[in-house]
């Protein structure tokens, strides 16, 4: 079963429906015991870094998420669910992230020709091919909505990149973690393929 963390933020319904469309059983929950027992865990998110951390703290979900990741079981972070894995964010000074991946979250520079937030379709590039991106072609288009992006300084990460004024990290792969800035649940058939690949790891 795929467990999606409900912490009061994010597009939970669209993520759960996307997995269900691929034939997976899904549980959406904020219960720490059920999260601790998940075979595959998904942390989606849309919104503010500090609010996300605060909600996870209040629901006592930080430790269960950390335990799940340390156990080696599959973990998928989406959008804000990628960013909170890092140590800190310019969006919320004073709110430490989970610190699972070394690095920080920064705001896009001010561009004359490009609007922030970045909203729309971008092509991804990757070196090697993470298992979650199996049969996802180089240069595939994914949908993004964000004003901040991650700057990893963790060694050993598999990085997926794209460009919007600057080249930035669109996703990271590290051991059992795959986390992406884009929204696979909003990225048509290629996004559903990614979710299907992740779900197949959770059996």
Q: d(Cα 70, Cα 66) in Å, to the nearest integer?
A: 6
Determine which one of 68, 88, 183, 202 is catalytic. 183
This prediction has a pTM of: 0.96
78 contacts 185 by C-beta, under 8 angstroms = yes
pLDDT of the residue at 113:
85
Q: Where are the domains of the chain?
A: 2-200
pLDDT tier at 9 (50, 70, 90 boundaries)? confident
- Determine whether 118 is an active site residue: no
DSSP 119-175: EEEEE-EESS--GGGTT--TT-EEEEEESEEEEE--TT-EEEEEEESEEEEEEEEET
Determine which one of 52, 118, 180, 185 is catalytic. 185
Helical H segments across the chain, by residue range? 12-21, 32-36, 49-58, 62-71, 80-83, 188-200
Q: Which CATH fold would you assign to the domain 2-200?
A: Rossmann fold (3.40.50)
- Token pair listed for 7: 């912490």
Mean pLDDT of the chain: 95
Above 90 in pLDDT, residue 12?
Answer: yes
- Token pair listed for 127: 């070196």
Q: pLDDT of 125-181, one tens digit each?
A: 997 788 999 999 999 999 999 999 999 999 889 999 999 999 999 999 999 999 999
User: What's the average model confidence in pLDDT over 32-61?
Assistant: 94
21 contacts 192 by C-beta, under 8 angstroms = yes
Q: pLDDT of 56-73, one tens digit each?
A: 999 999 999 999 999 999
% of the chain beyond a pLDDT of 90: 89
Q: d(Cα 107, Cα 90) in Å, to the nearest integer?
A: 7
Instruction: Give the count of alpha carbons within 13 A of 27, CB side only.
Output: 17
- Give φ, ψ of 56 to 5 degrees: -65, -40
Top pLDDT among 155 and 27 is at 27
Determine which one of 52, 79, 180, 202 is catalytic. 79
- Determine whether 52 is an active site residue: no
- Determine whether 202 is an active site residue: no
pLDDT of the residue at 17:
97
């Amino acid at each position: 079963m795929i467990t999606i963390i409900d912490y009061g933020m994010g597009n939970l319904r669209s993520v759960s429906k996307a997995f269900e469309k691929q034939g997976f059983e899904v549980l959406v929950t904020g219960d720490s015991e059920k999260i601790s027992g998940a075979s595959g865990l998904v942390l989606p998110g849309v919104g503010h870094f500090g609010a996300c951390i605060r909600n996870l703290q209040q629901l006592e979900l930080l430790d269960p998420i950390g335990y799940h990741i340390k156990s080696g079981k599959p973990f998928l972070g989406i959008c804000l669910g990628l960013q909170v894995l890092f140590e800190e964010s310019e969006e919320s000074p004073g709110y430490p992230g989970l610190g699972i991946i070394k690095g920080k979250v920064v705001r896009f520079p001010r561009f004359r020709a490009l609007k922030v937030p970045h909203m729309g379709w971008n092509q991804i590039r990757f070196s090697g091919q993470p298992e979650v991106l199996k049969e996802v072609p180089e240069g595939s288009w994914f949908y993004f909505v964000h004003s901040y992006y991650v700057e990893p300084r963790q060694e050993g990460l598999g990085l997926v990149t794209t460009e919007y004024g600057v080249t930035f990290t669109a996703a990271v792969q590290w051991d059992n973690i795959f986390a992406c800035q884009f929204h696979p649940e909003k990225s048509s058939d290629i996004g559903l393929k990614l979710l299907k690949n992740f779900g197949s790891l959770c059996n």
